[in-house]
Amino acid sequence: MLHIVNKSATERSSLESCLRMATKGSAVLLIEDAVYAATNGNAAAAKIQAAAADLKIYALGPDLAARGMAGRVLDGVNVVDYGGFVDLVAEHSNCQSWL
């Protein structure tokens, strides 16, 4: 399953809920304000890095760039463009947005 998260982890709990429920081997894509969680020094960074052991973590490049965060991405997070976003949805048999 592909989990899509769009909320900043320092404002809302959707990333935390997602990481709690994502089963081993599934993918998590951070878009919109959720991309901040995938950057160095963010309060959620440790959670992302711990989760990366069991989950594949992706962040949407255009949303990182738009926020001045393109150069601060955590190791272990895969940056994808919109083409990569489409591929992730196609590759996984189901997807879910943590609104």
Partner 1 sequence: MQFGILVNEGPYNHEASDSAYLFARTAIEKGHKVPRIFFYHDGVNNSTRMAEPPQDDRNVTARWSKLAEEHGIDLVVCVAAALRRGIKDELLAPGFRISGLGQLVEMGIQYDRLVTFGD
Partner 2 sequence: MSDMDEMDDGSGVVKKFMFLNRKAPHGTVYALEGLEVVLITAAFDQDVSMVFTDDGVYQLMKGVDTKGIEVKDFSKTYRALEGYDIEKLYVDQVSLDARGLTEDDLIVDVTVLSVDEMANLMAEQDVVISF
Q: Which listed residue (1, 16, 32, 65) binds partner 1 by CB under 8 A?
A: 32
Total of chain residues touching partner 2, rule CB under 8 A = 16
Cα distance between residue 97 and residue 12, in whole Å: 14
The interface mask with partner 2, positions 15-54, x = CB under 8 A, is --x--xxxx--x----------------------------
Minimal distance, residue 20 CB to partner 1, in Å: 20
Token pair recorded at residue 11: 């404002």
Cα distance between residue 61 and residue 64, in whole Å: 5
| SS3 call for 33 | helix
Minimal distance, residue 8 CB to partner 1, in Å: 12
Residue 95 interacts with partner 2 (CB under 8 A)?
Answer: yes
Phi, psi of 93 (to 5 degrees): -70, -20
Strands (E), 1-99: 2-5, 27-30, 56-60, 78-80, 95-98
Of these partners, partner 2, partner 1, none, which one is at the site of residue 83 (CB under 5 to 8 Å by kind)? partner 1
Using CB under 8 A, list all residues that contact partner 2: 1, 13-14, 17, 20-23, 26, 93-99
